Structure 1
Amino acid sequence: MQQTDRLTESMEHALTTRWRKTIWRPFLSAMQRYQMTQPHDRIAVCISGGKDSWLLAVCLRLLQKHSNIPFELVFLTMDPGFTPEKRAKLLETARRLELPLHMFETDIFRIIQDVKSPCHVCASMRRGNLYHEAQKLGCNKIALGHHMDDAAETVLLGLLYGGEFQAMLPKLYSRNFPGMQLIRPLYQVREARIISWQRAYALPIMACACRVTQREDGGKRREMKTLLAQIEQTNPHAVSNIVLSTTRVNLNTVLGWRETRTSPLRSCMQDVLFSQNMDDNAQEMIDSGDASD
């Protein structure tokens, strides 16, 4: 226990020193800009076993210790059908980071084996199960580990495969679970910084453990990641500019738009959708990224 105490203290200290500029400040900026916490929130931090969710948990725990806004955290993880080895690895990392996990089981991996669009179905089922379990635990918010690169990839997927301009919002209200919100505290953090953080502590990570995705190459979202990496070789600000563009929509220069719902977050980010047609497969590709780590 003493060894894990030292690791936790070291991690938290490093976030405010070594990683202050690249992780801690962007994290705090997103939390404050999008008002992700309110007094007496009870937030379910969704742990998948990947690098993003481990960093998310460590950041929120440190913020909780020093924030002027009182809020509670529940570290929530879902077993969708892990092998015993993967489950044990996840639990061991949680023990090492002193995160008291609440784990619940589903049979999602079994259900999606023979469906047409497994990633889309899996993402939807994961989200629904996480909302449901969080609500049972008295939480009013769930926190996911999506970062800036995820947000930029979502924009490109919509443009290139859906003919639509669509953003991944940093905060949104659930349509199916009244009173529940989803927040993305790492929204302004670059994935490369998260990878550096994970490697610094040699944290074992779990990529998607689904047998379906193990047979595939990651699909269109991975294609977007590769495309962005190529663009950044000549334009290092490409990812941040793509995300920034979702806050600077000039309606006077577009041919049309549509509103799918009234967003309570319009003061934070313009929730405007362009084009009148969205290919179902393209929408599934975008949705499937929403449950990524």
Structure 2
Amino acid sequence: MEGEAKKKRELHLTFAEMAERSISKRFRSKLWSPFVSAIKTYRMIDAGDKIAVCISGGKDSMLLAKMMQMLHRYTEKPFELKFLVMDPGYNPQNREKIEANAERLEIPITIFETDIFEQTDKVEHSPCYVCARMRRGHLYSQARKLGCNKIALGHHFSDVIETTVMSMFYASQLQGMLPMLRSQNYPGMTLIRPLYKIHEDDIIAWSRANNLNFIQCACRFTEKNFENEDGSGSSKRQEVKEIIRKLKRDNPNIEKSIFNSLHAVCIETFPGFKANGKPHSFLERFDEENSELS
């Protein structure tokens, strides 16, 4: 009888309510718990915050929007939300898909237009880098117009790991991705990454479980290259994804080890490092120690 009553209750749930239930029940340990943990651990939200949740239309930002909506509903700490969608020049099909998914998930989005794709289409070198910077600038600007003091982006655990490895392999530096940082160009604005502890594979599993189909990058430069549900294509990031996948076969905990190492950096063992944009050498400390002994 109890099972039949449960089925009857589920029949009256909307699609959005079913998606929320999957987050809080089936995927609680993989999605909801690490989401709440990241927000608490890194103190991302304060009472009175007005947060612009930035939605690109992909799986990560849509899940972020849904969980921020749930948190807003259940938390005892009052804050406001704006669900912000920037259209950088999507084709009609992708624009419609974003709007349809938002409607199905009952996320009240605010859309604003830009011509970023048109501008970056003319860029010969590093168009993705230029596009990312322009997107960030437009989002900060629009969030400020809406009176927000924080913007939330959908970068997840896997992004953190891949960015760290990419910086070492291709940029000759050790650089991480912070869960929260203040904007240098927009005083009073803070960026937060609430999916910081959530694995991309678990986001994909949630999407599949709810039969959700999201857009990929969708820009003119890369949309033809995107073949996989994880948004990977012909890029350095994809190369790193493949490297990590291969390493995980022998060491399933390698991502966790990389993530934990970012929280336990031993500066004293590095021959060089940067602080506030200024390079430093271990020789500075070595000379200081030597002068103290003299």
**How would you bin the TM-score normalised by the shorter chain?**
0.7 to 0.9
Q: Equivalent residue of 1:258, what SS?
A: strand
Are the structure 2 counterparts of residues 68 and 273 from structure 1 closer, same or farther at C-alpha, using a change threshold of 3 Å?
farther
| Shift of residue 275, structure 1, vs aligned partner | 8.5
| CA RMSD in angstroms, aligned pairs only | 1.9
Residues 1:75 and 2:83 are matched in the alignment: yes
Task: Name which of structure 1's ranges 10-19 and 128-137 shifts more when overlaid on structure 2.
Answer: 10-19
Between the two proteins, the alignment pairs up a number of residues equal to 264
**CA shift digits 1:159-189 (9 cap, x unpaired):** 1111211110000000111100110000000
| Runs of 4+ residues over 4 Å off in structure 1 | 272-276
CA distance in 1, matches of 2:281, 2:13: 53
Name the larger-Rg structure.
2
CA contact (8 A) 2:183 2:189 kept: yes
2:31 is the alignment partner of 1:23: yes
2:246 is paired with a residue whose SS is helix
Counterpart amino acid of 2:107? L
Q: 1: CA distance between counterparts of 2:169 and 2:55? A: 31
1:117-132 to structure 2, matched below 5 A, reads 117-132=126-141
Q: Alignment partner of 1:213: what SS?
A: coil
Aligned match of 1:236:
252
8 Å CA contact 2:216, 2:223 repeated in 1: no
Distance in 2, Cα, partners of 1:162 & 1:245: 19
Identity across matched positions, percent? 46
Q: Is the 8 A contact 1:165 1:274 kept in 2?
A: no
Which moves more between the two structures, 91-100 or 11-20? Answer: 11-20
Q: What does 1:1-293 align with in structure 2 at a 5 Å threshold? A: 6-115=14-123, 116-214=125-223, 217-260=233-276
Alignment TM-score, normalising by the size of structure 2: 0.86
Greater relative contact order (CA < 8 Å, ≥ 6 in sequence): 1
Q: Any stretches of 5+ residues in structure 1 without a counterpart?
A: 262-271, 277-293
- Tell me which amino acid in the other structure corresponds to 1:260: N
In structure 2, runs of 5+ residues without a counterpart are: 1-10, 226-232, 283-294
SS at match of 1:15: helix
Equivalent residue letter for 1:245? S
Deviations 1:70-99 (A, max 9, x none): 011100000000111111111011111111
* Alignment match, 1:288: none
SS in 2 for 1:125: helix
Distance verdict in 2 for CA 1:41–1:258, change over 3 Å: same
| Rounded Cα–Cα distance in structure 2 between residues aligned with 1:42 and 1:218 | 37
Letter of the 1:77 partner, please give it: V
Q: State the alpha-carbon separation in 2 of the partners of residues 4 and 96 from structure 1.
A: 15
